[in-house]
Structure 1
Amino acid sequence: MGTDNVVFLEVIEWFDPSGREVAHRIPERGSGEFKIGAQVIVRESQAAVFYSGGVACDALGPGRHTLITKNVPLLTKALALPWGFTSPFRAEVYFVNLKVFPNLRWGTRDPVAFRDREFGLIRLRAHGICDVRVTQPVLFVNTLVGTEASYTVDALEAYLGEVIVSRLNDHLGEHLDSVLDLPTRYEELADGLRERLARDLAGYGLELGRLYINAITPPDDVQQAIDDRSRLGAVGNRLDALVKLKAAEALERAADGGGGAAEGAIGLGLG
């Protein structure tokens, strides 16, 4: 089937061998001429949304459908007014993939600001994965797809990434006091973030399934401070023991670099 205006469409179907399209428009430009009696083949996990005069008319579920007045009543009504119903008629159809799209990646392109109870204002990076599917095809086409000939997983992933990061900023500010608490909070934070996002995505005909936060990472200086705290606890919270431990590590690192660094390490208190 061509990509431009198609005259006398008798069999309308869509198959995506790549598995990367969420929605596809037939024809890809303009409107097509559809005949009463034409066959519409909708596969499992698909929906076919008809548009006439720029208005969504009907969504057909899986199966082989014959375009007659009984199974497309809204389309029939739209075509009958204000002029008489004629065949062929001009329309477009969007095939929407209703399967679950798994393992979509999201992450912060730039660090986000977070006020930490222990370290003050710091910048965090975060990334993870999520699953999503279309549950309301008409709403999805009207709000996200628009008049695009094809809406791909890449476009959906980019949109979700922006929304998730935006909501993550708010969620961390309300439910996390310090990055020191992160090791035991990932699942809880992910569940709360998913509930928060579900309300947003429902307005676009989308349902969010699983959402995972794989990592939230602070800047290097904060990570170093966290490591030092852990090591201080390992030596019984004795600062002098930590100083000696760091000096010993400096000596070890200096072994391949000459005596100057080693002498500096001895000056730290390893006498």
Structure 2
Amino acid sequence: MGTNNVVFLELIEWMDDTGQDIARRFPQEGSGEIKFGAQLIVRESQRGVFFYNGKAVHVFDPGRHTLKTANIPILNKIMGIPWGLTSPLRAEAYIVSTRIFPNLRWGTREPVAFKDTEFGLIRLRAYGVFNIQVVQPLLFINSLVGTMPSFGVTDVADYLGRVIVSRFNDFMGEELKTILELPGRYDEWSEGLTQRLRQDFARFGLALDQLFINAVTPPPEVQKAMDDRTKLGMFGDMNRYMQLKAAAALEKAAQNQGSAGESMGMGIGFMMPSLMAQCMGAALQQPQGVPQAPSSSPALSCPECHAPIRPEDRFCPACGHQLVVFTQCAHCGKNLTPGARFCPRCGEKVETQPPQSQRCGHCGGENLPDARFCNHCGERLQS
């Protein structure tokens, strides 16, 4: 793009070679003098946002678009004489990638405190992966990108990972009593945690496509205690244990040479049908788990009437609600118009500053503003 030329118009397009950038500003250095008639090329996996004189003007869908500003070639240099041949009519264009960014990692940097009914206060480590997608480009730029020349997944993954860990801690405190119940619940927890986090991500114009919990690991001493309990459970049915030991002894004796081994082998032949029948009967009595098909990620819905919408829709086809979000109410999530001081839905005053983090009254640890359990001591936070 020629930003320093006098006559030629700009051609604005973006091809991300790294695959790690979410948004890119044009021009890259400072503000620009995008001329009248400049061409903006937006591809299928992108959205374009045009700013003029510091204000967002329009969100562009995929295609070729002509930008109309007051910066006319040659004349803009004459008009900019009092400002050092720089036009005061500033314009910038942002191109935002709307593809899904997969395999972003989240995990606990420090062990998270959890009050277990069986083992007392223990510290757990957890980690997994999640996928994000930009669904509100304008809200994403206003809330996260700001005036940065480029914005990548590494700029936001660390903060979102902290949010996931905090919500995961709250989820454990409400859904789990002891880690002995943890195996086999990863899929159920992943779905529940995804539903809880979608509102947190929506405040930044992002959608949480999927979230997976790979592992939740207790400290070594707790793992040893769990192994001991597992061994006791294995030997709970002494009849089966004695049958297995007897079968192993008979098989070993049958391998010995001589008349005794032959006689023992004949005895095994008579006893094997009985042992097999008992083992098969015990296996049939055990309930078999039925695998469940993984649930697909729910489609986008209107925040007002919850009707299904498409990513490219600007208004809800059911209720007409405006889907292009400038900012949202921190209390009820209502879309707010630029300059609004009070929310039209709940009447709360619009917060201009982000909410402050809250400290635990027991250990003084710092947590997210609306966390329910402390990440440091596991105690419930006072609301």
Q: TM-score, normalised by structure 1?
A: 0.76
Provide the rounded CA distance (Å) in 2 between the counterparts of 1:7 and 1:50.
Answer: 20
Q: State the alpha-carbon separation in 2 of the partners of residues 202 and 184 from structure 1.
A: 29
Q: Give the drift of 1:89.
A: 4.3
2:274 matched to which residue of 1?
none
1:45 aligned partner: 45
Residue in 2 aligned with 1:198?
A: 198
Report deviation, 1:235: 2.2
2:117: which partner in 1?
117
**Structure 2 letter corresponding to 1:122:** I
Map residues 82-231 of structure 1 onto 2, 5 A cutoff.
89-231=89-231
**3-state DSSP of counterpart to 1:103:** strand
Return the offset for 1:6.
Answer: 4.6
**Structure 1: where are the runs of 5+ without partners?**
70-86, 239-271
Map Cα deviations across residues 17-58 of structure 1 (whole Å, 9 max, x no partner). 111100111112321111111111111111111122322221
Deviation of 1:237 after TM superposition, in Å, equals: 8.3
Question: Rg larger in 1 or in 2?
Answer: 2
2 CA distance for matches of 1:117 and 1:88? 66
The question of whether the paired residues in 1 share the 8 Å contact of 2:54 and 2:90 is answered with: no
Determine which structure has greater relative contact order: mean sequence separation of CA pairs < 8 Å that are 6+ residues apart, divided by chain length.
1
Matching residue of 2:277: none
Distance 1:177 1:53 in 2: 56
Whole-angstrom CA distance in 1 between matches of 2:174 and 2:145? 33
**Which has more helix, going by share of residues?**
1
Residue 127 of structure 1: how far off its partner (Å): 0.4
- Give secondary structure in 2 for the equivalent of 1:34: coil
SS in 2 for 1:99: coil
Which consecutive unaligned segments of at least 5 residues does structure 2 have? Answer: 70-86, 239-383
**Displacement after TM superposition at 1:162 (Å):** 1.2
1:213 positional shift = 0.3
Preserved contact between residue 132 and residue 206 of structure 2 (Cα < 8 Å): yes
Q: In structure 1, what is the Cα distance between the partners aligned to 2:113 and 2:52?
A: 47
* Partner SS for 1:15: coil
Shift in Å, 1:224: 0.6
Q: Which has the higher strand share?
A: 1
SS of residue in 1 equivalent to 2:182: helix
Contact map agreement 1:40 1:67 (CA 8 A) in 2: yes
Q: What is the count of residue pairs matched by the alignment?
A: 220
Q: Distance in 2 between matches of 1:27 and 1:68?
A: 16
1:153-203 C-alpha deviation (Å, 9 max, x unpaired): 112221221111111111111111111111121111111110000011111
Q: Is the 8 A contact 2:47 2:60 kept in 1?
A: yes
